[in-house]
Amino acid sequence: MGRTMKRLATSPANGSPGAAALVYDSLSGYIEARFDECSRSQKDVAQYIVDHIDEAAFQTAEELARRANTSSSTVVRFSQALGFEGFPELQAAAREEYRRAHQNGGQPAANGVGLFSLDQSEFEAALAADHLNVEETARKISRVAVDALIDAIVGAEKVVVAGTDQMAFFASYLRHLLMLLDLRVDVVASPSQEALSRLGRIEEGTLVVGLSAGRPHPLVVRAMKLARHRRAGTAAITDATLSEVAKLAQIRLYYSSNSPAYVRSHAALLGVIQALAYGVYARDSAQYEDRIKAFRLK
């Protein structure tokens, strides 16, 4: 199948738009198979399309480029590198994947009234996207991976959470929640001397948790590589299944971040972090009960 796919992909005139990608079960599967052939900027587009197929199906090349932090010309070149004549042909394959995924679409609400109206305002559209992201994340997240990460947190001598820029807030919040349970947690959120010294203290028995949205920050990648080198545990919480941080992690949790707004949605990420901390608490609630009551949090 791989050889057939490659031959079709290099012959754009062969077949209808999207025919090459549909030799695989989906455009996403085709992109994943060709991912290592892409340039660095094309990988940003590839990652975004795989994890946001609905947006790729209906957005313009310019909108998709903005969300993938690249240029519209890169989106076009990426489409052509896959064997499509241009972005419209790739988008046709994305729409076909989206149509097949939703042909047995969601069930109507019990009272016959949808949660959000069809003529949504910008506010309602963003809120609706957050709702769908939480639902999609809950549906797809691996219970095995969640249990493994909870076990790793409980069993670690120390946890180091790495997240920069917009992820710095969530790294700090995860640290806050775990420190309420009297766990040893450090945060690496910037390339400051203090943060780098925390990286220097990573050792066997440490768990490094990398947070990323889209292309991971080099500091987070560095933390994960250092952890692997020193035989420390590694985990990733990310919205990109093809992320370098995810590839370096032994445990991976993915969340959905689709949004009509000018930034990614992090509603599902927040839910994952809070649920993860609660999972740690639930492993030995009797042990943590008095400490939680002391903070008057319950």
Query: How large is the average pLDDT for residues 31-37?
Result: 91
Band of pLDDT at residue 5, cut at 50, 70 and 90: very low
**How many domains are contained in the chain?**
2
Task: Clarify whether residues 261 and 198 are in a common domain.
Answer: yes
Answer whether residue 275 is part of any domain.
Answer: yes
Our CA dihedral for 286, 290, 292, 293, rounded to 10 degrees, sits at 130
Q: What CATH number does the domain containing 172 carry?
A: 3.40.50.10490
Task: Clarify whether residues 149 and 92 are in a common domain.
Answer: no
Query: How large is the average pLDDT for residues 122-144?
Result: 89
Q: Which tens digit of pLDDT belongs to each residue from 40-81?
A: 889 989 988 998 888 888 888 888 888 888 899 999 999 999
Task: Clarify whether residues 93 and 142 are in a common domain.
Answer: no
Domain that holds residue 180: 138-294
* Per-residue pLDDT at 238: 94
Task: Clarify whether residues 142 and 286 are in a common domain.
Answer: yes
pLDDT at residue 22 greater than cutoff 70 = no
Nearest to 69 by CA among 47, 51, 38, 53: 47
Query: How large is the average pLDDT for residues 287-296?
Result: 72
Tell me, yes or no, if the pTM score tops 0.85: no
The pLDDT > 70 percentage for the chain reads: 84
Where helices occur in 35-142 by DSSP H, the ranges are 40-51, 53-58, 61-67, 72-81, 87-101, 122-140
Q: What CATH number does the domain containing 19 carry?
A: 1.10.10.10
Rg (CA), the chain: 21
Task: Clarify whether residues 271 and 159 are in a common domain.
Answer: yes
Answer whether residue 107 is part of any domain.
Answer: no
Answer whether residue 113 is part of any domain.
Answer: no
Give one DSSP letter per residue of 228-291, joined into a string.
HHTT-EEEEEES-TT-HHHHH-SEEEE-----SSSS---HHHHHHHHHHHHHHHHHTHHHHHHH
Q: Which tens digit of pLDDT belongs to each residue from 224-264?
A: 999 999 999 999 999 988 889 999 999 999 999 988 888 88
* Per-residue pLDDT at 4: 30
Least confident of 53-62, 112-121, 260-269: 112-121
Whole-number average pLDDT of the chain? 84
Last-in-domain residue among 100, 126, 154: 100
